[in-house]
Structure 1
Amino acid sequence: MPFREEHMNHLDVVRLLGIDAPALPPEAGGHGRVVPEDFEMLLKALPMGVIAGSVLLERPDVPVRSLEDFAKDTAPRVANMADALLAREQEPLLPLFPEPGGMVPWGRTARDGVLLWNTTDPDTRQWTTVLTDADFQLWLDLPFSTSEFLVRTIQGRPEGIPAFESYEEYESGSYWKVADDMRVTATALANPDIEAVEEIVTHVRSVGVPGIRQYAQGLVDQAVNESLGSLPEDYLTVMKEFPGGVVAGVRVFPVTRAAWLTEDRLFLQWGEVQGRAFGWLTASGSPENWRIAYIEPDGIALTCLEDQTFATFLRRRLRGDNSLF
């Protein structure tokens, strides 16, 4: 994939923060060979602290000499991810480092989530961001470099949240907003009568990184404009918050990638699980009557989950039920 000149770099971030930044180094400086150059330049420009009340960067020595050295400090967290997913019989969005092309952590969130790079492209300038929550149940696939992710985070932050705080400022400032939000989330999820859509949306919002909702909403608007047709309301409500990725082992495509699999438009695919195409059987007319169905990898057998909507199926998975029946 060719490098796109319009990509944001570290200067876009530091300008938003009002910080003087060093110029991009010549290639001989060694930056960008192991990890993205914009990340290394951000480390040179930014003091230690919290961005938009939500994001903290890993702080290796730069230039980074090897991915093994870079990933050393986060290796225990990656091992925790692998163990948690194995226990749930789930897979991550992509393999984890040190697997070839594996995801490598580059930061964390104030709510103990992890920010990783998708390293499948050999060109570090093309590495994009994956965000997972503290329980590794949600994996958000975001087509952003570190710099673009941070720009969107800063621009999307709630009113009253500083663009940047030192650790000391954060502990006496935005930390209390984060703590209050986490209490509200825990209370909502503890409600035994919570509706499926609200439960999923609450989980997604609990990731706590600004800018994601705006991006997800833009994808929904784009899909509607491209005339996919009417879609179930529970699906649209969730996808206005979730831009695509994995929910409890279920790969959920970005809404712009939902597609009809048959010419008669009787099966609309929105994701997959273990090679099975998941979507809706649409013969029942109104989207509110559509129910979840899946097609086996061989394309022959089709199973309909007659009692499951998009939201209730994902809730069942989040609650630990991996049944496909």
Structure 2
Amino acid sequence: MKKTVLITGAAGFLGSHLCDKFMAEGYRVVGMDNLITGDLKNIEHLFEKEDFEFSHHDVTKFVHVPGQVDYILHFASPASPIDYLKIPIQTLKVGSLGTHNLLGLAKEKNARILIASTSEVYGDPLVHPQSEEYYGNVNTIGPRGVYDEAKRFQESITMAYHRFHGLETRIARIFNTYGPRMRLNDGRVIPAFIGQALRGEDLTVFGDGQQTRSFCYVDDQVDGLYKLLLSDYSLPVNIGNPDEITILEFAEEIIKLTETNQKVIFKELPKDDPLQRQPNIEKAKEILGWQPKVSRSEGMKTTFQYFKSLSKEELFKSEHKDFSKHNRS
């Protein structure tokens, strides 16, 4: 019989690509999403597939999946500052209650679970590049704390289930990832820059633009996550591309890529915005035999073509999801 994998956050950017990967590898896939930030158009091409099933469900509520479940990938969470600043309580709940529910399901089903952690657990790092042994520099009560602490708690409870219950767990610390299906106006740097360029707007750089990021193309990211799930390693592993670039340099790359003549304008740096981001991926190389293959120039060409193919309506509309009903408890 085919093995079954449950993927939460399945209609999101990374979750949808993971659905594609596991379908291609011959698994039966159950995709779960409450569609707060996800979009069904990311997975609608899978609805006609016999081995794909979609469940519209909020994982902060009790999670039930009938039958055998072999693997769980927990990717349900807001992942952009625009989202988790608008729905801070839901962000904390999906990292805590949602993770607790899914760990309980994994225990019941005797399934292996991989949780999507983030480079944000390092906060504004005092160590560069960031290795898994670094404990971070995080402001627990700052505006970004709702996301950072949700993910740090997520790691803690996952390791508690591993140590106390002997549960098969995996923890991926994901660094900046990009590619097709990113939401155009979700506040992350790549869709923000490309959207501004396509609309003929000046590119907005926060601070002096000397803060750095390291961008990993989605195909590489998914390959690393797949290998981590099937590995025998239970401690956190950085999955990202160590090719570091300043935001100002990246803005200039976008202007060149899009063949536009926009200027760069500067605005005040948001509170607790990390000044450096670069993963140390020695563990991933050694344990998983993984490292990124897609260059930024190659990945950005594909990503730009995706955004360029969007309709004018999508290009010019603002992000207007109604989060009010999800932020009351």
TM band (smaller chain): under 0.3
TM-score (norm 2): 0.27
Highest relative contact order (Cα 8 Å, sep 6+), 1 or 2?
2
